[in-house]
Amino acid sequence: MTWFQQPIRVSALRTRLIGPAAIALWMLLSLAVVAHAEGDLRALRRLVEHGRTTTGVVRSIWRGRSSSVTVEFAVDDQTHTVASGRFGPPNPPIQQLRVGQPVAVWYLPDDPGVVALGDPPQLLRRTGRVVSFIVGLLLVSILGSAWILTRLQRGRAARP
């Protein structure tokens, strides 16, 4: 018998712990994603309530799995440069942007580092839908995992 044909010997305690540990890890990762998205939602809500608009200039564009745009804009004679992935109308799609192009910028007067490069109410709706989907997926996966673990434990208990 070769090394890859030998049966894997795992203690009963380990087999009972692997499933719950995997679920706990999945829950922690999912909650981290939701917490990050909630921070975005909070910033967008602040922009909806207190944000001001100005015109900025695109300084760089990074297109990838999660695109971002670096924009320079002036507030009270101070120049601010921010990178933001929050991008939407009335600005053109990120694929059509060019360096040096003017774009609409929403910012918080008390914290110009909080920026959206698109209409905050529209971005808020879009981000809210994504968070709702993630939370729904999290709940379904937790319930499904709990159901599977229960079935596995019942199967083990039924064995002689």
Give residue 89's pLDDT band: very low, low, confident or very high (50, 70, 90). Answer: confident
Give residue 39's pLDDT band: very low, low, confident or very high (50, 70, 90). Answer: confident
What's the chain's average pLDDT? 79
Residue type, 113: G
The domain ranges of the chain are: 13-158
pLDDT at res. 65: 75
Question: What is the C-alpha separation between 89 and 74, in angstroms, rounded?
Answer: 21
Contact 44, 159 (CB under 8 A): no
State mean pLDDT over 7-11. Answer: 55
Give residue 58's pLDDT band: very low, low, confident or very high (50, 70, 90). Answer: very high
Contact 26, 137 (CB under 8 A): no
Give residue 122's pLDDT band: very low, low, confident or very high (50, 70, 90). Answer: confident
pLDDT at res. 95: 83
